[in-house]
Structure 1
Amino acid sequence: MTVTVARHELSVGPDAERFAERLNERVARRIGRLQESANSIDFAFSTSVMALHARCVIDPRAAKVETWEATVNAMQLGSALFAVTGAGEGTIHCRIDRKTRTLQAIGPLSSADAGTWLTAFWLAVICREQQRMTELCEIPLERLRAPEGQYDEYIYQWVDALQTYWMRRPGLVEKLTAALQMSHPDVAQVAPRDLLQGVLYPPINLFYHFVLKDEAGFSPALEEALKLHQMYWTLTEERRTDIDGSIALGPLAIACLAYDGKLPIEVESEYLPKHLLQHSWLGEFPT
């Protein structure tokens, strides 16, 4: 039986459509400036992710092409961010917003870290961009390390597990188990407990069920992940107005992996936009 997890009411004001349009315009401007200088590509990426969340507020099923365009732009900018920061000289050719653009390599950027990598990887998974997933998984873990104290150590185990899975390297179960253990609230010290329990830990647990091909356990774990997501984003009035709560990006990406792997998904929710989950827009235009 399919379970429905209702999305909480997002108190974003009466003009959500216009807000999304303004964000799209801002993304387009920042993309347009990248060929002059790629130094602000992290801001372009973060704005594009915000624009995607805004689109999903007004189009929770991702039934409109504008939402797919916002998803693809965010995915392309995430990949481009790691491409231009992975080299200190020369140029990088990146397809962004329907055009192939030549960007100058800028070398290391503090924002090109493990947290940003996870977002970029989730977007590549959702867009079914296997080559971009591979390129992201070829990035050495040490390159993603942030200054000490910014992240708990589990995040590097988590990235390592995802890279190991996609590249079919040995040691996946051990790395994933370590990520699960190290992300326990009694072990992790940096992330706030509510953020850890509501947003950061659930994708790791969900991925564990996916890796095990646990047909009986995957949907309950997905339901739990969405309920914890909802709990986190409704804990305060300020969070209720935050468009970041409109979708559950990590659980959505892992549900996409499960969907493509023919694992039964018996959960429906606007936190998991239907047409992104079922890749209905795939092939609509080159990505």
Structure 2
Amino acid sequence: MTRQIVSVIVPRQDYQRDKMAAVVPVMERSLCGSLETIETSHRTRASALMTSLNVARIRCVGDPEAVLLESWESWLLAMQVHSAVFAAASTDQAFVTCKIRQEERQLDSTGPQFYLNPGTWVDAFYLAVICRETEHLDMLARVPMSLLRDCGGVADDYAYAWVETLQSFWLRRDDLRTHLVRAVDLSTPEHARVLDGEEMSKLQYPPIMMIYRFLRKDPAGFNEALADAVRWHKEYWTADEDRMQNIHGAVAIAPLAIACLAKANGIPVEVETDYLPQALLDFGWRGEFDA
């Protein structure tokens, strides 16, 4: 008997679309300026990381399903920038050649830098999953943990355990279960030191449970975890007026990435929401660009 699929619908909060759209050209100019010197400047690499991802997010305010070419180009660019800085940091050569906006760039190697923290690595991993870029994922999965620990920043212990979980998952290592259990244990609010308990429980913990359900090949459990993740994402980003207009809330990047993994592996996604842009979830621009 075929199971009837019943979608869970989670509406996204309203954004001031005209105001957001007016910001895009300003952000694009800033991003273009950063890309001009990304090959040699650490400062502009940090700026390019932040701005490229925010441009991708803000385009999905006016294009919630990410069906426009400009939206896909923005997500692809954010992925390229995030992958490039880690490729440059983990090479033993003087430089690496990376494609950014369809142009080959030679980025000077760096080693650990302040912007190469676990949070940036996780964003890079999610973006590569969303863009289905296996070569970038292979590279990211081999970034040494020492590089992230030596970046000079401070992160909660769960952040390192989650990076190790994702690396083990992608490389199919035998220690995956060990790292996953540790990530679950360390993602509880009482272990939060840098993040507050609310962010830990509503934004960081849910993707871990999604991976757990995915690994158990449990479609119903996975979609329940995905629905919870999106609801908690919305709860967090609508808790007050400032958060409601914060562009970080426009797309639930972590749940989106893991939903992309699930869909690529035959698990139906039964949650409908603008927090998960449909064209990104469906990989609607497959084959249009060489990343």
Give the TM-score range, shorter chain. over 0.9
Contact 1:88 1:106 in 2 (8 A): no
The answer as to 2:31 corresponding to 1:8 is no
Give the corresponding residue for 1:266: 270
Give the corresponding residue for 1:171: 175
Letter in 2 for 1:6: P
- 1:268 shift after superposition: 0.7
Contact 1:38 1:105 in 2 (8 A): no
- 1:36 shift after superposition: 5.0
Show CA shifts across 1:158-209 (max 9, x none). 1111100100110212211111111111233331011111211111111111
The answer as to 2:116 corresponding to 1:82 is no
The answer as to 2:253 corresponding to 1:246 is no
Give runs of aligned pairs for residues 163-242 of structure 1, distance below 5 A.
163-242=167-246
The answer as to 2:106 corresponding to 1:102 is yes
- Structure 2: which 5+ residue stretches go unaligned? 1-5
- 1:220 shift after superposition: 0.9
Give the corresponding residue for 1:91: 95
Show CA shifts across 1:228-267 (max 9, x none). 0000001111111101100000000000000100102111
Q: Aligned Cα RMSD in Å?
A: 1.6
Give the corresponding residue for 2:285: 281
Give the corresponding residue for 1:35: 39
| Residue of structure 2 aligned with 1:62, choices 61, 66, 86 | 66
Show CA shifts across 1:110-167 (max 9, x none). 1101111000000000000001001000011121116788211111111111100100
Give the corresponding residue for 2:126: 122
Q: TM-score, normalised by structure 2?
A: 0.94
Give the corresponding residue for 1:256: 260
Total equivalences in the alignment: 286
Contact 2:226 2:271 in 1 (8 A): yes
Show CA shifts across 1:14-57 (max 9, x none). 33222123212221221122235355212111110111111111
Provide the C-alpha distance between the structure 2 equivalents of 1:221 and 1:209, rounded to a whole number of angstroms.
8
Letter in 2 for 1:272: L
Q: TM-score, normalised by structure 1?
A: 0.95
Show CA shifts across 1:73-98 (max 9, x none). 10000011112222476121010011
Provide the C-alpha distance between the structure 2 equivalents of 1:225 and 1:148, rounded to a whole number of angstroms.
30
Assess, with a 3 A threshold, how the Cα gap between structure 1 residues 176 and 57 changes in structure 2: closer, same or farther.
Answer: same
Provide the C-alpha distance between the structure 1 equivalents of 2:169 and 2:281, rounded to a whole number of angstroms.
20
The answer as to 2:77 corresponding to 1:73 is yes
